[in-house]
Amino acid sequence: MVNLLPIATTVLAALLSIEPLHIGGYAALTPAFTLMATYHWTIYRPDLLPAPSLFMIGTAQDLLSGGLPGVTAVTLLLARAIVLTHRHYFIDRLFPFVWAGFTLLTGVAMLFLWALHSLLAAEFLDLREPVFHAVLTISVFPVASFLLGRSQRALIGAD
């Protein structure tokens, strides 16, 4: 049962991403919580957050947020694939190193999403908001990482 923790926290992250906070301008800048959960679990327990579950969560998030279905799913799946091939660099490393890895991943994800949406809209979209969004995501990551790490240690441990 506790093995469902990665999926449960990623679902929670997806719900948090669309949670209205009634703060002016927040909706557009909401941190990418789902990306944080994907990064964390792909490094520490990729077996418990398999690609199909990530696909389902990403698609549900798109359907609920009014976005184009498939966009979040493809982003999370690619992020998972990238992290999976590099996860040995991050295991048993100090947090700043893990954070630096997340910073790189967020940057790549932001550029990918911007390019994809620009392509779909057939025009270059404004890059300022995505950049703020990425900065906010990177700044919030330590808190998410701490909470996910704590819950992991308390409930399921390492692979």
Partner 1 sequence: MRIPQARRAAIERISFPLLIVISAVMIIVGKADQVAFQSLRTAVMDAAAPALDMLSRPAAFVDAAADRAWGIIAVYRENARLAEENERLLGWQRLALRLSAENAQLHDLSKLVSEPSTSFVTARVIADSGGAYARSVMVNAGRDNGVARGQAAMTGEGLVGRVSEVGSRAARILLITDLNSRVPVIVEGTRQRAILAGDNSTRPSLRYVDAGTAIRIGDRIVTSGQGGVFPPGLPVGIVASVDGETVRVEPYAALSRVDYLRLVDYGLADALPIPLSIATRGGKRADSGAAVLPPRR
Binding site for partner 1 (CB under 8 A): 15-30, 47, 50-52, 55, 58-60, 63-71, 73-74, 77-78, 81, 113, 116-117, 120-121, 125-126, 129-130, 133
Instruction: Write the single-letter amino acid at 138.
Output: I
- From the list 130, 129, 70, 138, the residue with the least C-alpha distance to 105 is 138
Based on DSSP, count helices (H) and strands (E) in the chain, helices before strands.
7, 0
Tokens of 96: 């700043």
Least distance to partner 1, CB of residue 24, Å: 5
User: Between 66 and 96, whose beta carbon lies closer to partner 1?
Assistant: 66
User: Between 71 and 105, whose beta carbon lies closer to partner 1?
Assistant: 71
- From the list 37, 111, 113, 107, the residue with the least C-alpha distance to 75 is 113
Least distance to partner 1, CB of residue 34, Å: 10
User: Between 53 and 103, whose beta carbon lies closer to partner 1?
Assistant: 53
Least distance to partner 1, CB of residue 103, Å: 18
- Is 33 in contact with 144 (CB distance < 8 Å)? yes
User: Between 86 and 117, whose beta carbon lies closer to partner 1?
Assistant: 117
Least distance to partner 1, CB of residue 88, Å: 15
Tokens of 49: 């957050």
For 130, other C-beta atoms within 10 Å of its C-beta total: 18
